[in-house]
Amino acid sequence: MVGTLILIWLGICLLLFLVRTHRAKDFPPGPMALPFFGNLLHLNLENPIADLDKLSARYGKVFSLFFGGRPAVILNGTKAMREALVTKATDFAGRPNEVLLSHLTKGKGVIMADYGPGWREHRRFALTTLRNFGLGKQSMEQRILGETQHVVAVLETNMGQSVDPQTLFHNASCDIICSIMFGARYDYDHEFFQAMIKMMSDNSKIANGPWGMIYDTMPLLRALPLPFQNPLKAYTSIKHHVSDIIEQHRASRTPNQPRDVIDSYLDQMEKRMSEEGSVFDEDQMVVMLLDLLFAGTDTTSNTLRFTVLYLMAHTEVQERCHQEIELALEAKEHVTFDDRHKMPYMQAVIQEAQRFSSTLPLSVYHSTTKDTQLMGYRIPKGTLVIPNLSSVLYEEGEWKFPYEFNPENFLNDQGELVKLEAFMPFSVGPRMCLGEALARMELFLILVTLLRKFQFVWPEDAGTPDFTPIFGLTQAPKPYRVIVHPRESREV
């Protein structure tokens, strides 16, 4: 009797699953889903990009997969990406509420907040506050250049020796955004500072990695002591530390004279105290600060590491960068962001490193805010949408050399920098990465400063450079070491 009941129960579950995973005729096509797993077994969970490309070749630029019983639409190629995220931006601007990242943030902050008035107000606040503290101005340049000198000091101390750039670039990128958020930079060996960096790195690997996909696909496993519990605990711990910093600011601040982002947010909270249902509160502030921390650290530091790796493998590109830097700066003591207009090749190298590394391969997951259509398919409200940005950054027909690192992808026959529609390393539309403007400034100023002073050399005993990335929410290069040699000093 018990066995019969179990069989009946399993049969009902299977029937319900088959009903849920049945694709309507006007829904994007895709492979048949397996019971309970959906299409999880169709993907290499260590890095699903190649599998997504194969599925796109079979089913088209817009196809669907099932994560368990939940459908997801995968966007591939420039045309589909722009139609969804630019032309129909509002329709595709939502965020899913049943994935690991949304559970980490509880839908607060900016990155994982769902589309609506609260998200708009916080994004506007974040961008305005970053500009108020110097983004795009000389004061931000000085902040970045000042932090770069700490990197220079470490490299000069280790001249001629092999150095692991991973921690160094993470430290520098994180300290720049910390100085804006918290009003002070941290020593690189500070315990809380290193805990923040480790939390961001670990969460990035988990979020779109195998355990993250299992978490998103199989809700029944979420309570078990599996590896996806680690980012949840680390994130909670860092939130407590940030709350302590906010309390210290609350006790020492002068209203309407903000020293940093925290003070600015506290001012905003006071201004809106009388508003019924104000979206500005301390829980929102803590998550928004961690959003800014992630947006300003992980993609930048990983792009710096990828760029140095590519430059060591392509010594002729590194030498051409150095020559252009010397010619453009001449006797100037420091580079400025405006100097980029005199360095088209350097800009092309940075953009090519962003393209080739594809540090944000699947962007951040979207969801539809209403029933909509895309390239002839009907997409219901609340559908999970995954933009495959790598498919755009490597798209044949959009690039001269789609599968190789080559700065000529961004230069015309006259050696001038060209703007390309398919270049979207930070995504596009209203939900594009908050840290784009800061990242562009950091990448240029840091790389020009370092390439002016140093030559980066691949260690002879390190084998062949491996460009295969470590997949995650943000991709990172495999660990490597670099030998630093001094350039001839120029009298100023």
Specify which residues 308 forms β-bridges with: none
> What's the total number of domains in the chain?
1
Ranking 91-95, 99-103, 110-114, 446-450 by mean pLDDT, the lowest is 99-103
Distance CA 360, CA 113 (A): 18
Query: pLDDT tens for residues 311-354?
Result: 999 999 999 999 999 999 998 999 999 999 999 999 999 999 99
Cα-to-chain-centroid distance, residue 97: 19
List the domain range (segments joined by +) for residue 423.
Answer: 2-478
Contact 471, 47 (CB under 8 A): yes
Residue 14 lies in a domain: yes
Where do we find the tokens 């403007």? 437
Distance CA 437, CA 135 (A): 8
Contact 280, 113 (CB under 8 A): no
- Describe the crossing of helices 344-357 and 282-313 by its angle, rounded to 10 degrees: 110
Residue 350 lies in a domain: yes
Contacts of 133 (CB under 8 A, 6+ apart): 139, 140, 180, 260, 261
Please count the other Cβ atoms lying within 10 Å of the Cβ belonging to residue 248.
11
pLDDT at 483 over 90: yes
Ranking 182-186, 333-337, 363-367 by mean pLDDT, the lowest is 182-186
Distance CA 407, CA 404 (A): 10
Q: What is the pLDDT of residue 234?
A: 86
Specify which residues 455 forms β-bridges with: 485
The pTM assigned to this predicted structure is: 0.92
Residue 50 lies in a domain: yes
Q: What is the pLDDT of residue 14?
A: 46
Ranking 29-33, 106-110, 221-225 by mean pLDDT, the lowest is 221-225
Residue 353 lies in a domain: yes
Residue 288 lies in a domain: yes
Q: What is the pLDDT of residue 1?
A: 57
Give me the chain's average pLDDT, please. Answer: 90
Distance CA 27, CA 19 (A): 14
Query: pLDDT tens for residues 196-252?
Result: 888 888 888 887 778 888 888 888 888 889 888 888 888 888 898 899 999 999 999
pLDDT at 9 over 50: no
Residue 189 lies in a domain: yes
What percentage of the chain carries pLDDT values higher than 90?
67
Amino acid identity for residue 485 in this structure:
H
Residue 490 lies in a domain: no
Where do we find the tokens 């970045």? 144
Query: pLDDT tens for residues 40-66?
Result: 889 998 899 999 999 999 999 999 999
Distance CA 121, CA 126 (A): 9
Residue 485 lies in a domain: no
- Smallest CA-to-CA distance from 174 within 301, 303, 307 is with 301
What phi and psi, each to the nearest 5 degrees, are found at residue 455? -110, 130
Contact 432, 89 (CB under 8 A): no
The C-alpha angle with vertex 421 and arms to 173 and 429, in degrees rounded to 5, equals 65
Two structure tokens written together for 387:
């933009």
CATH number at residue 177: 1.10.630.10
